[in-house]
Amino acid sequence: MTASTSTQEREVLRLKLAKDKSHHLPNSRFTNPWPSDKTLAKKLLADEKGPEAIFPNGTKVDAPAALQLTWLGHASLLLQIDGINVLIDPLLTEQFTPFPFYSLKRYSRSPCTVQELPKLDALIISHNHRDHFDCPTFEQVSGRFPDIPVFAPLGNKPLLESVGFRNITIADWWEELTMLFDDADGTFKFACTPAQHSSSRSQVDNMATLWSSWVVEGPSGRRFFCAGDTGYTSQYNNPTKAECPAFKQIGPEHYMCGLNVQPEDSVRIHEDVGAVKSVGIHWGTFMITSEPVDEPPQRFTQEMEKRNHGGEYAIISITQINCHCIHFNYSSSATALRLTEELLLTPSVEKLHLIANMANDASTERELLRQKLLKDKSHHHNGRFINPWPSSSVPKFVDIFKYIISSKRPNPAEESVKQGKAPEVVALDHKQIDEPAPLQLTWLGHASLLVQIEGANILCDPVFSDRCAPSQLVGPKRYTKAPCTVADLPHIDILVLSHNHYDHLDWNTLKEVSAKYPDIQVFAPLGNQKMLKSLGFANIQISDWWEEFSVPLATGITVKLACTPAQHATGRGLFDKLATLWCSWVMEGPSGHKFFFSGDTAYSSERNNPTKAECPVFKQIGQVYGPFDLAAIAIGAYGPEWLFLGVHVNPEQAVRIHEDIGSRKSIGIHWGTFILTDEPVDEPPRRLQKAVESRGHEAADFSVSKIGQTTVA
């Protein structure tokens, strides 16, 4: 392809290439689909010599003001194009840590800090290797620019969210993205293009996320190409000397490129993409591989001159020649390899856990499971939602009619209230609430909670009205008073809702909350946005199961929320049954304290469930997010059990949820406030106590509290 190729022909080729998914493997991983890709054998790496620390001086790029590149070390770049500033693969810390026990330190200092950078308009990520995807640097960038647009290849969104970014676009090879920026005129184009590389941050997520190169084009037509991290032709198991075809496809002309791979192959990429000028990167910063550190620019210069590109390059920055391999892509140094092989040759439970959690961020195994679960949309059905498990059985109208005509009179629940068996209501302990522990829970009756986690105040399913019904004239009425009003609560940062049933989503209470906190951040499952807008809320985030959110607060802290499944149902009228989603919630503070809110859920139905199947989601929640320091788990509204265990739990099942999620301490909720079902109002805590003892737990592990009482994790 030449520079004169028509725009239409280019687009036809791009669309053709975009349809080619040969780099997608059937096991949800990725591959380099070319014969030029061959993995190095471990035995070849083991014989390497240590690197020599000889650092050459560099020269500055003489680039036009409309297109300017500043090398920040290794593969980190500041691209300035047509008035915007784009940061690429920033790594500005003094070291990156591929292993808990082994880290690579700079031998040349970082030229700046994040705070010293100009205003940034966009961030580009090529892949998730730690020398390109540095969480400490990213946290500084997201802290300074929380709404910065971030562009990254497939699979990287969860980790980017975990470091505070919220405006994230992920892309497959050959996808084009257009952007407008406030500080610049015209449309900018970002194209995710192929590279020949790999990805992973631990031993268990090899090739689970995609890698890429990137093309950036400004409104003036100036183009920049960044190779990210790539190979070109393998010298191992490549008898035909096949070359990676992607770079010829990425061409034609680019005004400037940042290149890596071995220097001679960098020159071939320079030619393939049709660069006017190229800058060598991915060298001179960390001793990742064994070549002398001044060798890359020397070989690059010689090859450019040899191939008659004398005025087309600049040595401000070219790769380690002994490239990353797939299996040990942190470092090919003999020291790091020996440390890893020692773990593999003499395994133990502790060492295997260490390998599985090599990253200093969240466990990769957990994240891979969450991504797998996130892709499962079996709970979406014909524009509504279902519980996609054998353990579920939602009551039908005929079942409810049968229950009504056969119900005992007098109602056992009503009789127990008359006998004074309702739970005690106490005044809020404002001293404890105003000076909270790192994680504490105040039960406000039924499923209403004030969760305080590391400086954040989160209100869950608040219901302070006298009745949980469409009207305050009829419907289930409180038999225990609310311990407070909305006005009595401390400042609320976040409102969390589990579903739209009247005993969890109360119109009157939420109107008061929106009036007091019009800009409060609200989180609710799918389908609830319209109702929440009508209640006066403006900052609403609706979500599907297994979606995560990093929520920055005005106090400067960031709280993590995850929308997790529950086995339940929804509906507020005759025609909206199952039209909105239901969920449970996970909350995590910046220091790692974790809380689980069950919302309203079932565990195992007694109807249409001959195998006694149990709801699988709580074990999954435990695997992805557990263990939990504190949990609030429903224990009531189950009688008669033949009818209601399809959507509610009994105390014995609540203990199973406590175990499945790995909760260290749980409080029983969803009882003691409204008469929704037949069981005596004091039965849930009595049965809970017996179930806790029978399962071998301490009484304090899972108990109940007074309404209004605060429980510290």
In three-state form (DSSP H/G/I as H, E/B as E, the rest C), the secondary structure along 315-376 is CCCCCCCCCCCCCCCCCCCHHHHHHHHHHHHCCCHHHHHHHHCCCCCCCHHHHHHHHHHHHC
Terminal C-alpha separation, the chain:
64
CB 99 within 8 A of CB 105: no
Bridge partners for 99 per DSSP: 102
Residue-level pLDDT at 579:
97
Model confidence pLDDT, tens digit, residues 618-638: 999 999 999 999 999 999 999
Residue-level pLDDT at 302:
84
CB 199 within 8 A of CB 228: no
Per DSSP, the three-state class of 174 is coil
CB 162 within 8 A of CB 105: no
More confident call, 63 vs 130:
130
Asked if 440 and 582 sit in the same domain, the reply is yes
Asked if 333 and 434 sit in the same domain, the reply is no
Angle between helix 364-375 and 617-625 (nearest 10): 140
Q: Is the peptide bond between 35 and the residue preceding it cis, with omega within 30 degrees of 0?
A: no
Place of tokens 């010298």: 235
Q: Is residue 208 part of a domain?
A: yes
Model confidence pLDDT, tens digit, residues 3-36: 344 678 888 888 888 889 998 888 778 888 887 6
Residue-level pLDDT at 276:
78
Query: Which one of 306, 338, 371 terminates a domain?
Result: 371
Strands 278-280 and 256-259: parallel
Instruction: Please give the sequence-ordered ranges of beta strands (E in DSSP) within 218-255, or none if there are none.
Output: 223-226
Average pLDDT over residues 369-374: 89
Asked if 527 and 668 sit in the same domain, the reply is yes
Task: Give the pLDDT band (50/70/90) at residue 332.
Answer: very low
Residue-level pLDDT at 30:
84
In a 13 Å sphere around the CA of 404, the CA atoms on its Cβ side amount to: 7
Q: Is residue 331 part of a domain?
A: yes
Q: Is residue 450 part of a domain?
A: yes
Task: Give the pLDDT band (50/70/90) at residue 274.
Answer: confident
Question: Which amino acid would we find at residue 295?
Answer: E
CB count in 10 Å sphere of residue 311:
9
User: Domain range for residue 639?
Assistant: 385-417+425-468+475-712
Instruction: Provide φ and ψ at 468, rounded to 5°.
Output: -105, 85
410 has a pLDDT exceeding 80: no
Place of tokens 């407070």: 484
Instruction: Provide φ and ψ at 145, rounded to 5°.
Output: -130, 75
Place of tokens 């829970």: 441
More confident call, 572 vs 337:
572
Average pLDDT over residues 166-186: 92
Asked if 657 and 681 sit in the same domain, the reply is yes
Asked if 261 and 400 sit in the same domain, the reply is no
Residue-level pLDDT at 58:
31
Q: Is residue 318 part of a domain?
A: yes
Q: Is residue 456 part of a domain?
A: yes
Q: Is residue 550 part of a domain?
A: yes
DSSP per position, 485-511: -GGGS----EEE----STTTS-HHHHH
Q: Is residue 29 part of a domain?
A: no
Residue-level pLDDT at 182:
87
Average pLDDT for the chain: 83
More confident call, 163 vs 345:
163
Residue-level pLDDT at 25:
86
- Closest CA relative to residue 378, chosen from 369, 367, 391, 387: 387
CB count in 10 Å sphere of residue 437:
15
Model confidence pLDDT, tens digit, residues 441-482: 999 999 999 999 999 999 999 999 999 999 999 999 999 999
Asked if 362 and 432 sit in the same domain, the reply is no
Residue-level pLDDT at 362:
41
Model confidence pLDDT, tens digit, residues 587-610: 999 989 999 999 999 999 877 777
- C-alpha angle with apex 628: 660 to 604, nearest 5 degrees? 25
Asked if 87 and 170 sit in the same domain, the reply is yes
Asked if 75 and 181 sit in the same domain, the reply is yes
More confident call, 124 vs 250:
124
Per DSSP, the three-state class of 542 is strand
Asked if 246 and 366 sit in the same domain, the reply is yes
Residue-level pLDDT at 660:
97
Strands 77-81 and 67-71: antiparallel
The set of residues, in sequence order, having a beta carbon less than 8 Å from that of 22 and lying 6+ positions away, is: 31, 33
Strands 449-453 and 456-460: antiparallel
Query: Could you give the strand order of the β-sheet that contains 313-314, starting from the edge strand earlier in sequence?
Result: 175-180, 187-193, 213-217, 223-226, 256-259, 278-280, 313-314
Question: Which amino acid would we find at residue 560?
Answer: K
pTM of the model: 0.55
Residue-level pLDDT at 246:
76
- Percent pLDDT > 70 in the chain is 82
Instruction: Provide φ and ψ at 584, rounded to 5°.
Output: -110, 175
Residue-level pLDDT at 343:
38
580 has a pLDDT exceeding 50: yes
Bridge partners for 558 per DSSP: 552
Task: Give the pLDDT band (50/70/90) at residue 253.
Answer: low
Min mean pLDDT across 470-479, 531-540, 601-610, 657-666 is at: 601-610
- CA dist 453 and 595 (Å) reads 8
Task: Give the pLDDT band (50/70/90) at residue 683.
Answer: very high
Asked if 310 and 435 sit in the same domain, the reply is no
- CA dist 692 and 453 (Å) reads 26
2 has a pLDDT exceeding 50: no
Average pLDDT over residues 123-151: 94
- CA dist 612 and 175 (Å) reads 47
CB count in 10 Å sphere of residue 643:
22
434 has a pLDDT exceeding 90: yes
Number of domains in the chain: 2
Asked if 481 and 537 sit in the same domain, the reply is yes
Helix (H) or strand (E) holding 280: strand 278-280
CATH number of the CATH domain containing 226: 3.60.15.10
- Percent pLDDT > 90 in the chain is 55
Q: Is residue 13 part of a domain?
A: no
Provide the token pair at 148: 């910065």
Asked if 193 and 339 sit in the same domain, the reply is yes
Place of tokens 């199973």: 656
Provide the token pair at 329: 């892509």
Residue-level pLDDT at 346:
45
